[in-house]
Chains A and B, each alone.
Chain A
Amino acid sequence: GQSLEQPSEVTAVEGAIVQINCTYQTSGFYGLSWYQQHDGGAPTFLSYNALDGLEETGRFSSFLSRSDSYGYLLLQELQMKDSASYFCAVRGGGNKLTFGTGTQLKVEL
């Protein structure tokens, strides 16, 4: 089966740095994606790692270690608008995405 575990909730202050971890067990793996979802909205693509290492896109970075079946999303210079749910998702065969349990990020003043 497939399983992706994330912390259920993370709280941080505006301007801080926060890391959201994702550990996975899947039968097929082509890469790890990260999506942001605000309440009532659609998931928005943030980042994708197919290979080990760090990918940086503006304030967001994502890391992958395939040997450890582990990845994380790093958000820097947190802003209030970053308060949302964040999902990791494994891309498997047929371009299917299996989503993680989701992390609710709360950014406080």
Chain B
Amino acid sequence: GAVVSQHPSWVICKSGTSVKIECRSLDFQATTMFWYRQFPKQSLMLMATSNEGSKATHEQGVEKDKFLINHASLTLSTLTVTSAHPEDSSFYICSASPQVTDTQYFGPGTRLTVL
């Protein structure tokens, strides 16, 4: 149980384009989903908290208009990197929590490369 999927697993795009990443909880309903970014050999950094049916909360220093988050249902959250640039190349990982006090279960991650 508690499986989280992400799609795509990797994506290569040109600078200036937008990329959408999906995060799905497959066998539970997630009231809260989180989006992280991880650069090579570094730790995971929380980008934003996504709550079903309400606006996402972005962490300090994370531009909400650049990293658009939509959590339209209890099993799906999407992260759109708008006008991507090479410095946005990273490993993007989502996690989902069945309830606000429960363990976070992580998706397999999406590797984004911006040329």
Residues of A within 8 A of B (CB): 33, 35, 40-45, 48, 87, 94-102
Inter-chain residue pair count (beta carbon < 8 A): 48
Cross-interface CB contact of A95 among B44, B97, B109, B111, cutoff 8 Å: B97
Q: Is the CB of B43 within 8 A of A87?
A: yes
Interface members, chain B 79-105 (any A CB < 8 Å)? 93, 95, 97, 100-105
Q: Which size bracket describes the interface of B in this complex?
A: 20 to 34
| A102–B43 CB distance below 8 A | yes
Given contacts A41-B109, A102-B43, 5 further A-B contacts (CB under 8 A): A35-B106, A40-B111, A41-B108, A42-B108, A94-B49
**Contact B103–A48 (Cβ < 8 Å):** yes
| Residues of B in contact with A (beta carbons under 8 Å apart) | 32, 34, 42-46, 49, 57, 93, 95, 97, 100-109, 111
- In the bound complex, residues from chain B placing their C-beta under 8 Å from that of A33 are 103
- Min CB distance A44 to B, Å, is 7
Pairs A–B under 8 Å by Cβ, sample size 20 = A35-B106, A40-B111, A41-B108, A42-B93, A42-B109, A43-B106, A45-B106, A87-B43, A94-B32, A94-B57, A94-B100, A95-B102, A95-B104, A96-B34, A96-B46, A97-B44, A98-B46, A99-B44, A100-B43, A102-B43
